[in-house]
Amino acid sequence: MTNRVPIIAMVVLAAAVTPLMVSAASVPSVGSLAPEFTLTSQEGTPISLQDYRGKWVVLYFYPKDFTSGCTIEAHNFQRDQPQYQQRNVVVLGVSVDSTDSHKQFCTKEGLNFKLLADTDHKVSSAYGSLTNLGLVKFASRHTFIINPEGKVAKVFTEVNPNKHSEEVLAALTELQKPSGSSR
């Protein structure tokens, strides 16, 4: 007999204390080349960061499909998709959940942007976004804005899922301002 409630409660509690924990790998710094990856989307197709060279990418890591904070955060990114598309920005969500879990989550919640399955934890680790509680590992709630050249332009390590999409859009407004323009 499996008892999912304590496991889910543990993951939710761990997500709440994540800002207090230090992950093993360091978070890529602003100006550094974003770590390359290829992961499978909820549609079963491989998605590589390199596929989006020439576009801005919002790469957000989240703990678990179907949990309240993660659902709120995903809904807000979904709500704001027209604004991201206007700015030539692709939103990619990453967790250690399976492709099947992502597919069910997207179907249930009406999400049409890509969620990527990092089941071997390599990408979450490369971005310093893996929380390891021994038996339970999950992605920390971190977000990276990656510029069209593939460099990290902004890092968020303290994320409030209720207002995060608005924060990301505000950061993109600043980052995408033409520099030295005389218009």
> What's the CA gap between 38 and 35, in Å, rounded?
10
Element containing residue 29 per DSSP (H, E): none
DSSP state of 90: E
70 among known catalytic residues: yes
Of these residues, 14, 57, 70, 92, which one is catalytic? 70
Query: Is the distance from CB of 165 to CB of 88 less than 8 angstroms?
Result: no
Give yes or no for residue 8 having a pLDDT over 80.
no
pLDDT recorded at residue 137:
87
What the chain holds in terms of domains, given with CATH numbers, is: 28-175 (3.40.30.10)
The pair of three-digit structure tokens given for residue 170, joined into one six-digit string: 């505000």
Query: What angle, rounded to 10 degrees, do the helices at 4-17 and 68-79 form?
Result: 60
Summarize the confidence of residues 29-58 as an average pLDDT.
96
pTM (2 decimals)? 0.83
Per-residue model confidence as pLDDT tens digits over 100-139? 999 999 999 999 999 999 999 999 999 999 888 878 888 8
